[in-house]
Amino acid sequence: MSKKHPEEQENIVLIGFMGSGKTSVGLRLSYKFQKTVLDTDKLIESREGRSISEIFASDGELYFRDLETKLLKELAQRLHNRILSVGGGTPLREENRKLLKEIGTVVYLRIRPDTVYERLKGDTVRPLLQTEDPLGRITELLDRRKALYEAAADVIVDVDGLEMEEVLERIAAGLRKKEEQ
């Protein structure tokens, strides 16, 4: 049997910091590769019947992180031919990084703090950015997370200054290259 291209049959997992474009890139990839897109934040919100902000406020971040891990375990059992976009903090746990790799080819949308800030200033739905100094917070979080995102990734695409089409082309090229390895 001939080997299938990852973009034909496998899951593609999008990781990256808040504002890196996981949701919009996921939607476009879903058209490009004819795969349905799923988003772990949205799944968690619909199962819990409340927003991420409400979950953080009532039950705390750790409760939310446990929900993420539980969901990834479930998805690792049953997901095929999908684009999966996950929350910005999902790859921080080692267990999650393993699960993400089990689920599919992991594409990291890498972004600089200033680009995140430009895209998300005024954001009110991300609990971790509700602070006096969002740029400082973004810089600090990205600094802490950088190596973990890289460890989780099979393909890395730097998105700063790129149009959506270029991002999509670089992802497709990265997936082809990964497959040739």
Q: How far is the CB of 40 from ligand S3P (least distance, A)?
A: 8
Residues 128 and 124: their CA atoms lie apart, in Å, by: 10
Sequence-ordered list of residues with C-beta below 8 angstroms from that of 118, at least 6 positions apart, any chain: none
**Neighbour-count burial of 23, counting CB atoms closer than 10 A to its CB (0-12 exposed, 13-18 middle, 19+ buried):** middle
Sequence-ordered list of residues with C-beta below 8 angstroms from that of 124, at least 6 positions apart, any chain: 130
Q: Which is nearer to ligand S3P, 52 or 175 (CB)?
A: 52
Adjacent-strand bridge partners of 13:
84, 106
Q: Which is nearer to ligand S3P, 18 or 171 (CB)?
A: 18
Q: In the complex, which residues of this chain contact ligand S3P (CB under 6 A)?
A: 18, 22, 41, 52, 87-89, 126-128
Q: Which is nearer to ligand S3P, 18 or 168 (CB)?
A: 18
Which tokens is 48 given? 């819990």
Q: How far is the CB of 127 from ligand S3P (least distance, A)?
A: 6
Q: How far is the CB of 169 from ligand S3P (least distance, A)?
A: 23
Residues 64 and 56: their CA atoms lie apart, in Å, by: 7
Q: Which is nearer to ligand S3P, 15 or 175 (CB)?
A: 15
Q: How far is the CB of 85 from ligand S3P (least distance, A)?
A: 7
